[in-house]
Structure 1
Amino acid sequence: MNTLPPDIEDLRLRTRDFIRTVVMPAEPAPGDRLSEGERDRLQAAAKSAGVFAPHVAREYGGQGVPLQFWSPIFQEAGYSLIGPTVLNCQAPDEGNMHMLELIGTPAQKEQYLRPLVSGAARSCFGMTEPHPGAGSDPAALRTSAEKVDGGWVINGHKRFISGANNASFCIAMVRTPAIEAAADGGTSSPAPAGATMLLVDMDTPGVRIGEQISTMDRAIGGGHPHLHFEDVFVPDSAVLGSPGEGFRYAQVRLGPARLTHCMRWLGLARRAMDIALDRTNTREIFGSAMHELGIAQDMLALNVMDLETSDAIITKTAALLEADAKAGSALSSVAKAHTSEAVYRVIDRSLQLCGGDGVSDRLPLASYLNEVRAFRIYDGSNETHKWAIARRASAARRREVEAGAPFQASVDTAAAYSSTEA
């Protein structure tokens, strides 16, 4: 972090100070949620301290930090479970802000982005559906929108829509048919069949929050309920981007959103490590300082390795996302799968080093485990990401061999290829 540009390093240090002196003393008891009144109070303090919404352009009320430098700031925010909410860089709002800033129209940015950045509005992202609808496989999308005069009519059922209870609007992913070009002399292009993103105010007639889903995590406010769309009309101006391009735009959001989850949880893993270090530096067991025992040293060393490798892949992916969104999105799968498992290991080892206090509410480590465990499922299960990672690796190697790269076959494989048997 000491190689950051001076203005970014200054913001990181101010964020660090704000989290540790203002936010941490206000943390609710382990397992409890931040109250609305405290959220408002702390967000006002973050604005006064100049650390609010670090990832959004200054013209919309943020700090204007480029994506490649989000990680050190988000890690400082994530050192407290409520830090990202206080700084307004928590999911799902953070990902929605990023996408609106990139592809929203000027009118959409004024109506949706600006109040979202200020904290006056909150949002949700409507992708996941009950089986057999979209989940880890977005292609299974079933919620649909029919084109009608002046807009679209949405029908469908979403589930696990994080933040929906408190949301002012939803960015809904819907399946749409091909749309013919307008009869305007050929100046309009037809929209292909596929998915479309629509901005839907939550108070629109036909939008209904359904069954609540109780989960093991508590950090994201607004719950994870079912969400129903029943003949919901939205105007043409509600289309985010272009009709039929929803899956492409989803990568604009999902690549960075996976990565910012990694950043925030890595900050929390660093907090867990500090708790473990404070314990091992001050405890004696069997006549020795705990930090001098080989088994404790092994666990601490593994923690450092997990923290540093996660930090490295996050940093590399953030820089790539800034330069090449498609390649960065692919690498974000690697970062997500690795980091989600690494931060769990760090917190789990830290809890183990703290013994009975670790599993009690005397320390927050047990609640941290509940929070980070879910990340191996959120934003695509790790198994899905590993499947995609392996497929990309295999395909890349086939392309290399086809282009003339040496074929590095094993002895057995070489023998099989040279065999004359059928």
Structure 2
Amino acid sequence: MLAHDSAATAIDPVALADGLARGFAARAAAQQGFPAENHRELHASGYLRLLLPRDQGGTEGGLLPMVRAQERLAQGDAATALVVSMALVVMGKLREDRPWPAEVFAEVCGGMLRDGGAINNCVTEPELGSISRGGIPRSRATPVDGGWLVEGHKIFVTGAPALRWFLTAVVLPPSGAAPDGELATAIVAAGSPGLRIVDSWDGAMSLRGSGNSDVFYDKVFVPDRLMVERVPIGQRQGSAGGKASAPGLGPWSLAISAVYLGIGQAALEAACDYANTRVPTALGQPIAGQLHIQQRIGEMQAVLLAARATLHETARLWTERPDLRAELPARIAAAKYLCTNAACTATEHGLRVAGGFSLTAALPLERHFRDARAGLFQPPQDDLALGVIGRAALARRCGADTAP
């Protein structure tokens, strides 16, 4: 039973995330495998309803409130928060653009509202990598009576054990209108016959509870109504849209940046707690009084404050200044770059504050250090992010009077 009835509208996402994060943090250190209990609590508390639009029974959290909430959720358990942020990226775009038939969107939202679970894109494959880099998936859909049979193998499907819907990139066979075939999205329901999830993430370096699994499709039936976003392969590049559509540059990807900022903040708080309570016998007082400790804590705080300011200002501008949206992909890239690198910097300094104790499971610092590194490989990666930022700066100056 949900904690909020369908009439509830006044939900504070940050306060709700705060309560959930406390419970997540309490079990994170001893967590083994996928944290299914966390995801049950996300549904029971009504937090997942913040992803859904009001016209579909959701409570529709806004961009900045959800960015702030996701940072707080990640301080409790970053792996769980990342699954939610991935779903926010998908659902945020769906609820704003409405690219699907209304009855299909209602079916997808209704399934999440009723049964819980998240939603994510399933695009990356072992041989070709992500289609965002230009590859054509090998996963195929064959027409049958009433729909399609999907066959293929996807990797790095974040949150797979908790997904209600798998938005699976497939290729449809050639037709008169599409001689090279079509690229399409198959909306695959969790539990569909032939859908198999394999835990290939156990023991990974970072975000071990994110369920970043392999997913196999063995003639999974998908009704024709759930085969959406069909685009002739020859038109694929032209349909990719503007800069805001590029991987990691849409507004809701700020929620992913917030997860890594949350990791850095959790490391800061853990390091402060350690420094305030650690009293070596040779010193006779907490190490927090030592200048070199204060300086390390200061650097952690400084990089996190700078990243947070950029993240929140970018979310605010997207919401309040629609006229600037064409210019904001570079800011979104900057927020991602700053948040992930701030998390890496902060967590490394956290290790140095606590010394050898930081390498043990007695403190969460080693987990935060490991988890922060996953952000380096989240799109856009640093080289691509800096390229976007640099091109935007150059374009602004193009044709300007630059004489001294």
Same fold (TM over 0.5): yes
Distance 1:154 1:34 in 2: 26
Partner of 2:205: 216
Mark the CA change 1:238 to 1:17 in structure 2 (over 3 Å): closer, same or farther: closer
CA contact (8 A) 2:264 2:346 kept: yes
Partner of 2:295: 298
Where structure 2 has 5 or more consecutive residues not aligned to the other structure, the ranges are 1-8
Rounded Cα–Cα distance in structure 2 between residues aligned with 1:256 and 1:387 = 18
CA distance in 2, matches of 1:65, 1:300: 33
Is the contact made by 2:112 and 2:164 (CA closer than 8 Å) also made in structure 1? Answer: no
Larger Rg: 1
Specify the code of the residue in structure 2 equivalent to 1:304.
Q
Cα 1:382–1:135, aligned 2, differ >3 Å: closer, same or farther? farther
Q: Give the counterpart of 1:94 among 74, 88, 95.
A: 88
C-alpha separation between the residues in 1 aligned to 2:165 and 2:14?
A: 34
Q: 1:119 to 1:33 in 2, by over 3 A?
A: farther
Structure 1 CA distance, aligned partners of 2:373 and 2:155? 19
TM-score (norm 1): 0.74
Write the deviation string for residues 369-405 of structure 1: whole angstroms up to 9, x where unpaired: 22221121133433333344444444x15xx43xx31
Query: Separation in 1 of the partners of 2:325 and 2:167?
Result: 21
Aligned partner of 1:197 in structure 2 is: 185
Amino acid at match of 1:100: L
Aligned partners of 1:377, 1:28: CA distance in 2, in Å? 23
| Correspondence for 1:314 among 277, 297, 311 | 311
Measure the CA separation in 2 of the matches of 1:135 and 1:374.
17
Q: Secondary structure at the residue paired with 1:243?
A: strand
Deviation string for 1:112-151 (max 9, x for gaps)? 22332455344332111223x1338531233365685865
Please give the per-residue CA displacement for 1:160-198, whole angstroms capped at 9, x wherever unaligned. Answer: 2222344343112235688766xxxxxxxx999774333
Note if contact 2:74-2:263 (Cα within 8 Å) is conserved in structure 1: yes
CA separation in 2, counterparts of 1:36 and 1:208?
Answer: 17
Give the 3 Å change call, closer, same or farther, for CA 289–169 of structure 1 in structure 2.
closer
Secondary structure of the corresponding residue to residue 12 of structure 2: helix
Within the candidate set 231, 237, 259, 2:254 is matched to 259
Report whether the alignment pairs 1:74 with 2:70.
Answer: yes
Q: 1:197 to 1:317 in 2, by over 3 A?
A: farther
SS in structure 1 of the partner of residue 52 of structure 2: coil
Tell me if the contact between 1:161 and 1:227 (Cα under 8 Å) persists in the aligned partners.
yes
Are the counterparts in 1 of residues 122 and 168 from structure 2 also a CA contact under 8 Å? yes
Distance between the aligned counterparts of 1:54 and 1:191, measured in 2?
41
Q: Please give the alpha-carbon distance, in whole angstroms, between the structure 1 residues aligned to 2:80 and 2:141.
A: 37
Q: Alpha-carbon deviation of 1:303?
A: 1.0
Provide closer, same or farther for how the CA distance between residues 37 and 350 of structure 1 changes in structure 2, counting only shifts above 3 A.
Answer: closer
Please identify, of 103-112 and 347-356, the stretch whose mean Cα deviation from structure 2 is larger.
103-112
Contact in 1 for aligned 2:337/2:385 (Cα 8 Å)? yes
CA contact (8 A) 2:257 2:336 kept: yes
Amino acid at match of 2:105: K
After the TM superposition, which of the residue ranges 191-200 and 135-144 deviates more from structure 2? 191-200
Q: What's 1:412 paired with?
A: none
Deviates more, 1:277-286 or 1:372-381: 277-286
Q: 1:107 to 1:29 in 2, by over 3 A?
A: same
| 1:82 to 1:387, Cα distance in 2 relative to 1, 3 A | closer
Deviation at 1:282, TM superposition (A): 3.4
How many Å separate the matches in 2 of 1:107 and 1:242?
A: 17
1:227 equivalent in alignment to 2:215: yes
State the alpha-carbon separation in 1 of the partners of residues 79 and 45 from structure 2. Answer: 10
Q: TM-score, normalised by structure 2?
A: 0.77
Q: Matches of residues 90-129 of structure 1 in structure 2 within 5 Å?
A: 90-102=84-96, 103=98, 104-117=100-113, 120-129=116-125
CA–CA separation in structure 1 for the residues paired with 2:131 and 2:295: 36
1:18 and 1:79 map into 2 onto residues whose CA distance is: 11
The CA distance in 2 between the partners of 1:320 and 1:193, in whole Å, is: 40
Equivalent residue number for residue 138 of structure 1: 133
Q: Which moved more, 1:165-174 or 1:262-271?
A: 165-174
Following the alignment from structure 1 to structure 2, what is the Cα–Cα distance between the partners of residues 206 and 10? Answer: 39
* Map of 1:11 onto structure 2: 12
Report the Cα distance in structure 1 between the residues aligned to 2:187 and 2:16, rounded to whole angstroms. Answer: 32
- Residue 12 of structure 1: CA displacement? 5.3
Q: Give the direction of change, closer, same or farther, for the CA distance of 1:408–1:213 in structure 2 (3 Å limit).
A: farther
Between the two proteins, what is the percent identity of the paired residues?
Answer: 19
Compute the displacement of 1:211 (Å): 7.3
Q: How far 1:313 sits from its partner (Å)?
A: 1.6
CA RMSD of aligned residues (A): 3.9
Partners of 1:165 and 1:209 within 8 A in 2: yes
The aligned residue for residue 379 of structure 1 is 379
Structure 1 unaligned blocks of 5 or more: 1-7, 182-189, 410-422
Give, in whole Å, the separation in 2 of the partners of 1:264 and 1:219.
15
Deviation at 1:9, TM superposition (A): 11
